[in-house]
Amino acid sequence: MWVTNLKVVGVVLGTLALYTLIANEIPQVQSEVPQTLTLGANVTPEQLVAAGEKVFNGIGGCTTCHGLGTRAPNLLTDEKGTGPIGVRCGKREPGKRCKDYLFESLDNPTAYVAPGYQPIMPVMTKQLSPEQVWAVIAFLEAQGGTVDVTGEDIAKAKPLTPGASPGSAGGGSLAGGSTDPKAIIQAAGCLVCHKLDGQGQVIAPDLSHVGSRRTAESIRKKILDPASSIAKGYEKLAGIMPKTFGTMLNAAQLEALVQYLAAHK
């Protein structure tokens, strides 16, 4: 009897440990950074930069793509000899000031696509409040440049669309911003083409064991840029998988989906 009990305890502890492990693997996109920053008209550059650093490493989800090497340009360190983002931001587009370029990067990422990268960056002004957006711009300017963001920029910024909640809407309005992988798969319509755990269609590869064929990194890449690698035997169907998931999912959702699929061994 006590052996069975021990086994049960073992399984429970094991599961808990596993979930803790997985939770720690997921970048800190859901940390305790307050979702609503209140930065008044008299906010100092130092306060903005400090708030922006938290947005960058937390709710903004920026580190899901930036700073890992190949998926997105380095922002805090040198990028291909052009310096960190605060140094190169004023030189990207002729006649565009650093501040305006950085705002454009977050508001309309495809207006200028950094050379050598795919246009997968989500529209951040839909997910973050004006305070969070301008704070993160100040933080980026501080990487080798001059911080000229002021309380006025925040005051002038158009507020989020009514009903949208910062940090969960916009790029992540899919499934109401839910990070439940099943809800994401449902809302994204993956099963219109794929089978997973016995549900869905068979047009595209069965994803029930995708984790044994692909690493998390490869699954992430495939979702963000379906042309990056075509599943063996499905060459004729290349190009069918939608290319828009990168803009439909917010960073936390993307990570939840990737980890869920990667665990399907």
Which chain residues interact with ligand HEC by CB under 6 A?
56, 60-62, 64-66, 72-73, 75, 79, 85, 92, 102, 105, 109, 113-114, 117-122, 124, 136, 140, 188-190, 192-194, 204-205, 210, 213-214, 219, 222-223, 226, 230-231, 234, 237-238, 240-242, 245-246, 251, 257
Minimum CB–partner distance for residue 39 and ligand HEC (Å): 16
Minimum CB–partner distance for residue 187 and ligand HEC (Å): 9
Minimum CB–partner distance for residue 78 and ligand HEC (Å): 11
Question: What distance in Å separates the CA atoms of residue 13 and residue 172, rounded to the nearest whole number?
Answer: 33
Minimum CB–partner distance for residue 189 and ligand HEC (Å): 5
How far from 140 is each of 45, 120, 126, 232, CA to CA, in Å?
12, 19, 19, 41
Q: What tokens were used for 170? A: 């916009």
Choose between 47 and 243: whose C-beta lies nearer to ligand HEC.
243
**Contacts within 8 Å (CB) and 24+ apart, 39-47:** 39/131, 39/134, 39/135, 39/151, 39/154, 40/151, 41/151, 41/152, 41/155, 42/151, 43/150, 43/151, 43/154, 45/138, 45/142, 45/147, 45/149
Choose between 43 and 262: whose C-beta lies nearer to ligand HEC.
262
The answer to whether 118 touches 157, Cβ cutoff 8 Å, is no
Choose between 109 and 145: whose C-beta lies nearer to ligand HEC.
109
Question: What distance in Å separates the CA atoms of residue 210 and residue 196, rounded to the nearest whole number?
Answer: 9
Choose between 9 and 111: whose C-beta lies nearer to ligand HEC.
111
Choose between 44 and 228: whose C-beta lies nearer to ligand HEC.
228
The answer to whether 205 touches 218, Cβ cutoff 8 Å, is no
Choose between 45 and 119: whose C-beta lies nearer to ligand HEC.
119
Place of tokens 């290349």: 238
Choose between 150 and 255: whose C-beta lies nearer to ligand HEC.
255
Minimum CB–partner distance for residue 240 and ligand HEC (Å): 4
Q: What tokens were used for 210? A: 């995708």
Minimum CB–partner distance for residue 34 and ligand HEC (Å): 16
Minimum CB–partner distance for residue 139 and ligand HEC (Å): 8
The answer to whether 149 touches 138, Cβ cutoff 8 Å, is yes
